Amino acid sequence: MDSFPSLYQINYSPGGVPKLPVAEARVSVEGLRRDGHRNKVLHGGPDRAICVFSLELIQALRQEGHTMYPGALGENFTVTGLDWAHIQPGDRMNVGENVRIEFTDFCEPCRRIAQWFHKRDYHRVDQQLHPGWSRLYARVLSEGTVRQGDRVCVDNLHEGDLS
């Protein structure tokens, strides 16, 4: 298996968590086609169209005794092979051949994901309390179709290219 940064899993749900894996998805400025959110005030919309998280952090959290898995925390894209702690709002990521997103903000953890955390400590993925461990929201700059295993490349505006 190649060791390039990639889209490990694409996750979808008609509303709420967990989001379940799909092999491919159409990405528009509104997010994944037919993906839904339980709370549309806090989630979704053009600046929060896609939620992204790191497979390596999910694995590290599992080592701490938490029970989450890709998609459980509500991320649409589970990526692997990136230095996640250095990705910041404003950075951009290419996914596959056509999709380009721009990270807009860190995701505020919500009680709906508490079930996958030891002692329900969902604040373990709060950027303010644990920098570098948060999921990130993104807006879609270029639409297209993504597939599991697609290469990802991050343009990190404050640190140079991370891929």
Q: Give the total residue count for the chain.
A: 163
Q: Which amino acid is at 43?
A: H
Burial class of residue 86 in the structure, from the number of CB atoms within 10 Å of its CB (0-12 exposed, 13-18 middle, 19+ buried): middle
Q: Where are the domains of the chain?
A: 6-161
pLDDT in tens for each of the 163 residues of the chain? 457 999 999 999 988 899 999 999 999 999 998 886 554 445 556 798 999 999 999 999 999 999 999 999 999 999 999 999 999 999 999 999 999 999 999 999 989 999 999 999 999 999 999 999 999 999 999 999 999 999 999 997 665 555 5
Closest Cα to residue 103, out of 38, 54, 41? 54
Instruction: Give the global pTM.
Output: 0.91
CATH topology of domain 6-161: M1 Pyruvate Kinase; Domain 3 (2.40.33)
Give the model's pLDDT for residue 79: 98
CA count, 13 A, side-chain hemisphere, 90:
7
Note if the bond before 18 is cis, omega within 30 degrees: yes
What is d(CA 82, CA 102) in angstroms, rounded to the nearest whole number? 15
